[in-house]
Structure formats: structure tokens, C-alpha cells
């Protein structure tokens, strides 16, 4: 496959101000102010998330006519009720008794059908910063935007929301895959820096060991579907303008997976691997959200830096492809390989694929010289 880069930004940022957006899943209250310094575990917002009503066929449970259901209730409509508390009973001495399955409010009774509805108490949801930094913007009732000086590595595809943990190097070669036997308890609550690929079995093992994040070069599409529990291709909405993951729930919401090269078995690009490896043992934020439509968002790893170096740019640099630039190849058969541009021809050239297009001649790290389309390389510096 070819690597589709929606933003045009370099996947490798050695230092710049990173902007992290933290949003509530439901409107709530913001608990920090603009300019406030936050740490990863600092609460920044609070919400109470309503739950779906619990519908109970009380007439069937008590084996009574629907018209008698209201008389069997031990609480008035609108009254609060605790989980496990007596909800209804029949007979003077309570021959049959029903306990409330949840804590909430008795909302309604349908005397025609014998059903009752209990609205559960809302769930308290506390949103933390997940990264050290400074609150730069408040999004009323929704969340905050935080800035921090950081190194960043962008991927091409991810699953999961975001997690914060310590980077742990699992392999020493970016071409080495992650196998289930390598994942053990010492990787709990960490973000694993892997190599070329990972299997569904290894992902499931990571969930069991409470791994927070995994970074690999590629993943086989069948392995990803097996992990997500998606059969066939119908749930996938493909195509760059509208791509999205299947609507089925993520089987492990606490695990974030980031792929840096694409689908298949692809060694992680050496510059990306080296940067991540250089920060092994440091805390980092991993975001798996992938959008390639209106807001164009790539998954990324944000590694906060303790101080902002002099001359550090505010925005991530957008290097251009030019002679002497270090680039990464974006399509087969050299997908993920990096090297230096020797020449750049604006005039159409014949490529190995037999098409004619503006071409870049790249000297790869192994010394091989290859000619690829100028739009099929991505500048790293």
C-alpha cells in the first residue's frame, strides 16, 4: 500500500510546542484556568454522564397482570432507589420480591404492558491532563488545549484514544516483530516501542498485561480485524476522504496502537525508531485517533521535554523535499525506507513502474540508489 499523509507534516519532530486537546465525552465543568500549569494526573474537567434507562418487565417477573404492577411497587414515581433495595413485591408478606438492579430514580410505570423504567445515576467522569504542560485555551463545557515543548513522532494509522506512560524499548532492530512471548508483566502500564509488526495474539496478550500503548511499523489487516473482532470488510468505510474504523466497540479501550508505515509487515523507519529509542525510559503521551477527513488528524507520540530549548519553533516544521534532504519513501517496494535526496527532477522521468512523473533520486541508507515519484517521498528534515 502507499502511505497517505493527510497533513503534509513531517512524521518526525525533534522539538516544538505540542498542542494537546483534551475533551470530555459529555458536556461538563472545566476545573482549570488558562495559564495554569498541569501534570499528567491533574484533573482538568468533570462531567456526569447519563446512562440509558433500565427497562424491566415487572409483570412477567412477578407473574401478575400489568394493571397490578403499580400497586406492587414499594417506591413512588420519581423516588430515588439504591441498587439491591426492594423494588416491588406481591402478597401481604412479600411472597415474591424484586430488587433494584441499579441505583437511580424510578422514572415511569406502564400499566398497559407491566414495564417500569429506572434511570440510573449518572456516571462521574474525571478528565485528566495526560501530559505536563500549560493550559492555553478553555473549550467551554467540553475541554481544554494544553501546550508543552515536546518531541513528536507521527504515525499513519491508530486505534484507541490516548494514554500516558513510560516508553519501553522491546526490540533493538526496527525489522523485528513483537511476539506474544516477549510481552510480560514488566511492560504493564508502559508504551512499547516495537519493530515491524504485531499479531492479534500479541495484542490480546498486551491487553492482559495492561500495556497502555504499542508502536510498530505495520500490522497485517487480517490480524487487526481478528483483534477488533471484525469479520469481513463490510464494516470498513474505505477511501481517504471518509475513512473510519468499524463502528464496533474497541475490545480494549485502555490500549492504544500506532502504526508508522502502513498495513503489512514493514520495518519501522530507522529515523523514527532511533528517536523513540533515544527516549526509552521517559514518559510520553500516545494518541491513536485517526482522522483523514475535515480535521485531518494523525496518531502520534508526544514526548514532553523538561525545558524549551532556545530557538525551538512554536509550530512543527514542515520540511520540503529538496536535494540533500533526508526523506522517507512512501510506497512499495521501498515503503518506510529512508535516505538522502541526490537529485530532484521537475521534468517527467520514466520510473520503474513505467509511468512518467517528476522524480526524486534517493540514496537509501543501505547505499542503494532508487528513483521514485517526487510525491512518493516525505521530508524528515
- 82-105 pLDDT tens trace: 999 999 998 766 578 899 999 999
Phi/psi at 214 (nearest 5 deg)? -140, 135
Phi/psi at 287 (nearest 5 deg)? -115, 130
β-strand partners of 178: 198
Based on the fold, state whether residues 185 and 81 are members of the same structural domain: no
Residue 212 CA to residue 253 CA, distance in Å, equals 9
Residue 11 CA to residue 145 CA, distance in Å, equals 21
Based on the fold, state whether residues 208 and 345 are members of the same structural domain: no
Q: Is residue 137 part of a domain?
A: no
In this prediction, residue 247 has a pLDDT band, given cuts at 50, 70 and 90, of: very low
Angstrom CA distances, 351 to 21, 324, 377, stand at 42, 21, 14
> Cβ contacts of residue 195 below 8 Å, gap of 6+?
170, 171, 173, 174, 175, 176, 177, 178, 216, 217, 267, 268, 273
Quick one: pLDDT at residue 119? 95
Based on the fold, state whether residues 93 and 168 are members of the same structural domain: no
Based on the fold, state whether residues 163 and 295 are members of the same structural domain: yes
Quick one: pLDDT at residue 94? 56
Summarize the confidence of residues 324-332 as an average pLDDT. Answer: 81
Per-residue burial over 37-70, b if 16 or more Cβ lie within 10 Å, else e, is ebeeebebbebeeeeebeebebbebbebebeebe
Residue pair 90/62 in contact by the 8 Å Cβ criterion:
yes
Residue 107 CA to residue 120 CA, distance in Å, equals 10
Summarize the confidence of residues 122-148 as an average pLDDT. Answer: 95
Query: Which three cell numbers, joined as nine digits, stand for 89?
Result: 413485591
Quick one: pLDDT at residue 280? 96
Least confident of 148-157, 230-239, 251-260, 310-319: 230-239
Quick one: pLDDT at residue 1? 36
Quick one: pLDDT at residue 61? 92
What string of DSSP letters covers 59-78? HHHHT--GGGHHHHBSS-TT
Query: Which three cell numbers, joined as nine digits, stand for 58?
Result: 415487572
Based on the fold, state whether residues 300 and 330 are members of the same structural domain: no
Q: How many CB atoms lie within 10 A of CB 302?
A: 23
Summarize the confidence of residues 241-250 as an average pLDDT. Answer: 48
Indicate the SS3 state at residue 379: strand
Based on the fold, state whether residues 91 and 151 are members of the same structural domain: no
21 or 369, greater pLDDT: 21
- Please report, for the domain that includes residue 111, its CATH number: 2.40.50
Q: Is residue 36 part of a domain?
A: no
Q: Is residue 264 part of a domain?
A: yes
Summarize the confidence of residues 225-242 as an average pLDDT. Answer: 64
In the block, cell 497502555 appears at: 212
Residue pair 214/222 in contact by the 8 Å Cβ criterion:
no
Q: Is residue 348 part of a domain?
A: yes
Using a 10 angstrom Cβ sphere, with 0-12 exposed, 13-18 middle and 19 or more buried, the burial of residue 173 is: exposed
Q: Is residue 339 part of a domain?
A: yes
Based on the fold, state whether residues 275 and 158 are members of the same structural domain: yes
Q: Is residue 369 part of a domain?
A: yes
Residue 9 CA to residue 6 CA, distance in Å, equals 8
Quick one: pLDDT at residue 346? 81
Q: Is residue 242 part of a domain?
A: yes
Based on the fold, state whether residues 116 and 155 are members of the same structural domain: no
- Please report, for the domain that includes residue 205, its CATH number: 3.50.30
Summarize the confidence of residues 119-147 as an average pLDDT. Answer: 95
Summarize the confidence of residues 164-191 as an average pLDDT. Answer: 95
Summarize the confidence of residues 303-317 as an average pLDDT. Answer: 72
Q: Is residue 80 part of a domain?
A: yes
The gap from C-alpha 56 to its chain's centroid, in whole angstroms, comes to: 36
49 pLDDT higher than 90: yes
What string of DSSP letters covers 123-173? EEEEEE--S-EEEEEEETTTEEEEEEEEEEEE-SEEES-EEEEEEEE--SS
> Cβ contacts of residue 368 below 8 Å, gap of 6+?
none
Query: Which three cell numbers, joined as nine digits, stand for 363?
Result: 540514496
Based on the fold, state whether residues 231 and 290 are members of the same structural domain: yes
Pick the closest to residue 58 from 102, 103, 100, 115 (CA basis): 115
Based on the fold, state whether residues 195 and 87 are members of the same structural domain: no
Based on the fold, state whether residues 284 and 158 are members of the same structural domain: yes
Residue 121 CA to residue 111 CA, distance in Å, equals 24
Domain count, the chain: 3
Range of the domain at 295: 12-16+147-304
7 or 57, greater pLDDT: 57
Residue pair 338/326 in contact by the 8 Å Cβ criterion:
yes
Direct distance between the N- and C-terminal alpha carbons of the chain, in angstroms, rounded to an integer: 24
Based on the fold, state whether residues 101 and 173 are members of the same structural domain: no
Quick one: pLDDT at residue 249? 44
Amino acid at each position: 500500500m502507499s502511505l497517505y499523509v493527510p497533513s503534509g507534516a513531517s512524521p518526525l519532530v525533534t522539538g516544538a510546542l505540542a498542542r494537546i486537546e483534551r475533551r470530555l465525552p459529555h458536556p461538563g465543568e472545566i476545573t482549570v484556568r488558562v495559564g495554569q500549569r498541569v501534570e499528567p494526573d491533574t484533573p482538568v474537567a468533570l462531567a456526569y454522564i447519563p446512562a440509558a434507562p433500565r427497562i424491566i418487565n415487572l409483570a412477567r417477573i412477578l407473574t401478575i397482570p400489568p394493571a397490578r404492577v403499580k400497586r406492587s411497587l414499594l417506591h413512588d414515581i420519581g423516588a430515588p432507589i439504591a441498587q439491591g433495595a426492594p423494588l416491588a413485591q406481591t402478597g401481604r408478606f412479600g411472597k415474591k420480591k424484586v430488587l433494584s438492579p441499579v441505583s437511580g430514580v424510578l422514572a415511569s410505570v406502564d400499566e398497559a404492558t407491566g414495564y417500569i423504567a429506572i434511570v440510573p445515576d449518572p456516571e462521574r467522569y474525571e478528565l485528566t491532563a495526560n501530559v505536563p504542560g500549560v493550559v492555553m485555551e478553555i473549550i467551554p463545557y467540553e475541554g481544554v488545549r494544553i501546550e508543552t515543548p515536546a518531541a513528536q513522532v507521527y504515525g499513519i494509522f491508530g486505534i484507541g484514544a490516548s494514554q500516558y506512560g513510560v516508553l519501553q524499548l522491546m526490540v533493538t532492530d526496527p525489522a523485528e516483530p513483537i511476539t506474544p512471548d516477549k510481552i510480560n508483566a514488566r511492560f504493564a502500564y508502559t508504551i512499547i516501542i516495537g519493530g515491524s509488526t504485531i499479531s492479534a495474539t500479541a495484542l490480546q496478550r498486551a491487553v492482559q498485561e495492561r500495556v497502555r500503548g504499542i508502536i510498530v511499523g505495520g500490522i497485517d489487516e487480517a490480524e487487526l480485524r481478528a483483534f477488533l473482532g471484525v469479520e469481513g470488510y463490510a464494516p470498513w468505510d474505505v477511501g481517504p476522504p471518509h475513512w473510519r474504523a468499524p463502528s464496533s466497540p474497541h475490545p480494549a479501550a485502555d490500549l492504544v496502537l500506532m502504526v508508522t508505515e502502513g498495513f503489512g509487515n514493514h520495518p519501522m523507519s530507522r529515523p523514527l525508531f532511533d528517536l523513540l529509542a533515544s527516549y526509552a525510559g521517559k514518559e510520553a503521551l500516545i494518541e491513536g485517533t485517526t482522522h483523514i477527513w475535515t480535521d485531518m488528524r494523525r496518531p502520534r507520540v508526544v514526548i514532553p521535554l523538561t525545558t524549551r530549548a532556545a530557538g525551538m519553533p512554536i509550530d512543527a516544521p514542515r520540511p520540503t523535499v529538496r536535494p540533500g534532504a533526508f526523506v522517507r519513501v512512501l510506497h512499495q517496494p521501498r515503503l518506510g525506507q529512508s535516505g538522502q535526496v541526490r537529485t530532484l527532477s521537475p521534468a517527467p522521468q520514466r520510473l520503474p513502474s513505467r509511468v512518467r512523473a517528476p522524480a526524486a533520486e534517493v540514496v537509501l541508507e543501505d547505499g542503494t540508489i532508487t528513483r521514485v515519484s517526487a510525491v512518493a517521498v516525505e521530508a524528515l528534515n
